[in-house]
Amino acid sequence: MAVYGLAAVFLYIVPAIVFLLPTSLVSAELASGWNGGIYKWVSEGISKPMGFLAVWCQFAMTIFYYPTLLGFVASTLAYVINPELADNGVWTALIIVVVYWTGVWVSSRGTKGIAGLASGGLIIGTLIPGIILVTLGVIFLGQGNESAAPMDADHILPTWAGLASLVLIVNNFLSYSGMEMNAVHVSSLRNPAKEFPRAMFTAMALVLMIFILPALAISWFVPAEELSLTAGIMQAFEAVFANFGLSWLTPIIGIMLVAASLGGMLTWLAGPSKGLLLISRQEGYLPPFLQKLNKNGVQQNILVTQGVVTTFIALGYALIPSVSSAYWIFSVITTQVYLIMYLLMFVAAVRLRRNQPDHPRGFRAPILVSLCGVGFAASLAALLVGFIPPSQFSNGNSGVYIFIVAGGALGLGLLVPYLFYRSRKPSWKQPDESQPDEPQPTQEVSS
């Protein structure tokens, strides 16, 4: 978002109001009334097939999320070894493959302690680098240096040059996603009706600060036309440390950022695939091969199959000329697949409020129908806008871009689960008595 300069503030606030707020409040009502996460909500609100589609999308988005996240890891790691590698597609693909399969090996040995890695990574690789970058950026401007991006009132709103100029806002929907995972904790509050909205508004303020301030700091140091979508943060650190004579800190920051990303990847590996497994064993949505567990009780076959697909996708970095373009394509496909789940969630919430008005709920979202309407419209708009090539990549072939995005998002998000559902057999059901009747597939991911 740093490519927009000061206008990034506006482009962060708008999705927070029309997407983050509705998803937070709506999922809180659903979680306080129905255990079992997104599958339970959509199954009761719409139908079981749509419930499967929702939980599938929650899992499937990670297939493109890993190449996106690890593309960032590869570019960041390049600044520790050789910055010129940051734009090397072969290097990026190699790092993705090696790191992902290492993560599969770690996850297959059990998930104990993985959540701690993500929590520690948040502090080490997100908060500390963010504070350093913003603090040095403020000092930099305070010394009278000129910002690379204009910071005057004329640049508060983004320059309008058609939808293509604002397409990067789609990535903010991915940044704000996941609140339905935290909603499972609403039943733990003493007074959900008051405490949960207060918690959500506090979280929104913190999230906005964490996103906006570093984005602005990056725009102070690196001109928009020079920014890499995967290595932009390291470009900024390299520039700021060079200005203060602290260049030796650049690789250290790079290692910290990589540690945070790897911790997050391991958490995601452990969560959504397990949720899909639990639902599939009960309802028979996946073939027995994909339902098998290893001796540690881990869904290893799902992880390995996912790894084969991830490896294939990673080759895109080597084949697509620009690493930033590949990163964006994988990022927008991730967002679109996830948004399909949110569309289903908003529809289910409205139907549950109308069809089961007396069902006990620990929290009732105010103006729920309006919230769902705004959230649905914003999600659908973001999904559709994602098919437009960003103006930042205007040199590419628009037809090829649309074909890749449509094939990835619609193929993975709709066609694959449809084929699984149509091919299901009664023998695919493998109920596991050791598992809870109403699994909560996202709870592990909330940290």
- Tens-digit pLDDT profile for residues 321-344: 777 788 888 889 999 999 999 999
Alpha carbons within 13 A on the beta-carbon side of 34: 23
Written as six digits, the tokens of 65 are: 């999320």
CA 394, CA 161: separation in Å to the nearest integer?
12
CB 329 within 8 A of CB 313: no
CB 303 within 8 A of CB 96: no
Q: How far is CA 183 from CA 25, 134, 192, 397, 414, in A?
A: 8, 31, 11, 41, 26
The pLDDT tens digits of the residues spanning 47-58 come to 999 999 999 998
Q: How far is CA 318 from CA 87, 267, 311, in A?
A: 10, 27, 11
Give me the pLDDT at residue 213, please: 93
CA 442, CA 271: separation in Å to the nearest integer?
6
Give me the pLDDT at residue 188, please: 77
Q: What does DSSP assign to residue 411?
A: I
The reported pTM is: 0.84
What is the average pLDDT score of the chain? 84
Written as six digits, the tokens of 193 are: 């009706």
CA 413, CA 404: separation in Å to the nearest integer?
13
Give me the pLDDT at residue 117, please: 63
What is the pLDDT tens value at each position of the chain, 447 positions in all?
Answer: 888 889 999 989 999 999 999 998 998 899 888 887 889 999 999 999 999 999 999 888 888 888 888 888 888 888 888 888 888 888 988 999 999 888 888 777 765 555 566 666 677 878 889 899 999 999 999 998 898 888 888 888 877 766 666 777 888 888 888 888 776 677 778 887 778 778 888 888 888 888 899 999 999 998 888 888 778 889 889 988 998 999 899 999 999 888 888 877 877 776 777 778 888 888 888 898 888 888 877 788 888 888 898 888 888 887 777 777 888 888 899 999 999 999 999 999 999 999 999 998 888 888 999 999 999 999 999 999 888 887 765 566 778 888 888 988 899 999 999 999 998 888 888 765 444 444 444 433 333
The pLDDT tens digits of the residues spanning 172-195 come to 888 888 888 776 677 778 887 778
Q: Is 123 exposed, middle or buried (0-12, 13-18, 19+ CB in 10 A)?
A: exposed
CA 407, CA 413: separation in Å to the nearest integer?
9
Give me the pLDDT at residue 351, please: 96
CA 108, CA 106: separation in Å to the nearest integer?
6
Written as six digits, the tokens of 261 are: 């990303």
CA 411, CA 6: separation in Å to the nearest integer?
37
Q: Looking at beta carbons, which pairs linking 41-49 to residues 24 or more positions away fall under 8 Å?
A: 41/345, 41/348, 41/349, 41/352, 42/344, 42/345, 42/348, 44/348, 44/352, 44/356, 45/347, 45/348, 45/349, 45/350, 45/351, 45/352, 45/355, 46/344, 46/347, 46/348, 46/351, 48/283, 49/421
Give me the pLDDT at residue 344, please: 97
Q: What does DSSP assign to residue 147?
A: P
